[in-house]
Amino acid sequence: MIVIVMGVSGSGKTTIGEALAARLGWRYLDADDYHPAANVAKMAAGTPLQDEDRWPWLEEINSTLKKQDDAVLGCSALKETYRQRLTAGLRDYRIAYLKGSFELLSRRAAGRKHRFMPASLLKSQFETLEPPRGAIEVDVAQPVEACVQQILRALA
């Protein structure tokens, strides 16, 4: 099974995703590791990515996921079309949607230094976000362990 832990920047994809993968004994994959250099440069400059920037990135991640038996992927996956590209051809997957208020996630983003995702892009991510239907919805205002437990219960 593949579990896609999705949400906007600062929602805890890496923290919760890594903790979930550790609890399951599965591999954790970070979608940020698959961005081409041009995407990284664009985001580092504070420019939001466009769909045409994302398609090759999502195809690469999908190809990687198809080779996994059990894994947790941390990925923004903000639009339904992105999630469709990520999951195309996967036989068994679930999506965990990390949800939080703009105010909470703004505070988190301001308090951390991401390698290429400036806090200024959070607004554009909220504008782009299409909440998924049928996902495991997790309120990230609660502690990390509570988020992980909620996802584990939903997977059981």
| Residue 111: per-residue pLDDT | 59
Give residue for tokens 């970070």. 30
* CA distance linking residue 93 with residue 15, whole number of Å: 20
* CA distance linking residue 112 with residue 118, whole number of Å: 9
pTM over cut 0.85? yes
pLDDT tens-digit series, residues 93-146: 999 999 999 999 888 777 565 555 555 667 888 988 999 999 999 999 999 999
Which CATH number describes the domain made up of 10-155?
3.40.50.300
State the CB neighbour count (10 A cutoff) for residue 87.
18
Give the domain ranges of the chain: 10-155
| Residue 109: per-residue pLDDT | 73
Looking at every residue in the chain, the average pLDDT score rounds to 91
